[in-house]
């Protein structure tokens, strides 16, 4: 086992290497811990160009795929916090980009985990607030199979309801997200928020179409159960 002195000396030597050489080391090592060796390395890799970041992420994804069960490559890539729109675009520009349209990718929890209970400003949540723009990009890209809106048992919709992010909720519902998961947890959260309009949005389908002069009635997304009614009375 190397002594603390040897480790410190190694870190110091890495810290003095040119950025381009550090990128090469990163590509070959594919180490999750290397960026945390020292502050400089962390900043070098965090603020690297998208082409560098996608090289590392793709390498890690393929490495994990070889070591475990087969998972959609886009699902693996999206799990990395570095993977934002510019990184996805860099991936799709690569001539050796693997196929990303054969399976519907899973939306990672990390995209929604940071959503706070309250909006970021007094004006409320807007369409410009993340992760909505990123999701719009993923769902509309012609080369990417539409992601699963019900990933992780409805986590995206549940988290959006928790935050009261109406534009995101509507987007997910429009793309097939269901409020039924976990005994209607998304609806229960809407009831706790005392937001009747949100409860109706989650439960009722609105076709937006008319048959003659009457609006066509669609079946509800789920049936209101006793737990929801009890919570509504308490709230």
Residue 33: Cβ-neighbour burial (10 angstroms; 0-12, 13-18, 19+): exposed
Q: Give residue-wise pLDDT tens across range 79-91.
A: 999 899 999 999 9
Mean of pLDDT values over 90-108: 89
How high is the mean pLDDT of the chain? 86
Of residues 128, 123, 74, the one with CA closest to residue 98: 74
**Band of pLDDT at residue 226, cut at 50, 70 and 90:** confident
Confidence (pLDDT) at 210: 52
Compute CA distances 41 → 4, 26, 46, 47, 234, whole Å: 19, 10, 8, 10, 53
Take residue 110 and report the two structure tokens written for it: 């990390």
pTM: 0.83
- Evaluate if residue 6 carries a pLDDT over 50: no
Residue 28: Cβ-neighbour burial (10 angstroms; 0-12, 13-18, 19+): exposed
Take residue 208 and report the two structure tokens written for it: 């937006």
- Evaluate if residue 208 carries a pLDDT over 70: no
Q: Match 């603390």 to its residue by tokens.
A: 4
Q: Higher confidence at residue 166 or residue 230?
A: 166
- Evaluate if residue 92 carries a pLDDT over 90: yes
Bridge partners for 148 per DSSP:
106
Q: Minimum mean pLDDT among 95-109, 116-130, 153-167, 217-231: which range?
A: 217-231
């Amino acid at each position: 086992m190397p002594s603390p002195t040897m480790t410190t000396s190694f870190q110091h030597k890495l810290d003095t290497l040119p950025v381009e050489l550090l990128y090469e080391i990163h590509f070959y090592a594919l180490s999750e811990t290397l960026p945390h060796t020292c502050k400089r390395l962390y900043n070098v890799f965090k603020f690297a160009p998208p082409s560098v970041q996608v090289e590392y992420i793709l390498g890690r994804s393929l490495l994990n795929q070889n070591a475990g069960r087969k998972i959609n490559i886009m699902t693996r890539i999206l799990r990395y916090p570095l993977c934002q729109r510019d990184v996805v675009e860099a991936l799709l520009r690569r001539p050796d980009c693997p196929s990303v349209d054969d399976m519907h990718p899973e939306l990672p929890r990390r995209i929604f985990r940071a959503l706070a209970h309250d909006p970021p400003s007094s004006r409320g949540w807007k369409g410009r607030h993340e992760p909505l723009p990123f999701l719009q990009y993923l769902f509309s890209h012609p080369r990417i199979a539409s992601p699963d809106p019900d990933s992780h048992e409805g986590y995206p919709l549940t988290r959006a309801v928790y935050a009261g992010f109406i534009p995101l909720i509507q987007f997910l519902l429009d793309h097939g997200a269901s409020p039924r998961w976990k005994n209607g947890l998304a609806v229960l959260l809407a009831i706790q928020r005392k937001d009747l309009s949100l409860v109706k949005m989650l439960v009722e389908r609105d076709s937006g179409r008319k048959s003659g002069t009457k609006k066509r009635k669609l079946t509800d997304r789920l049936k209101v159960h006793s737990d929801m009614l009890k919570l509504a009375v308490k709230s």
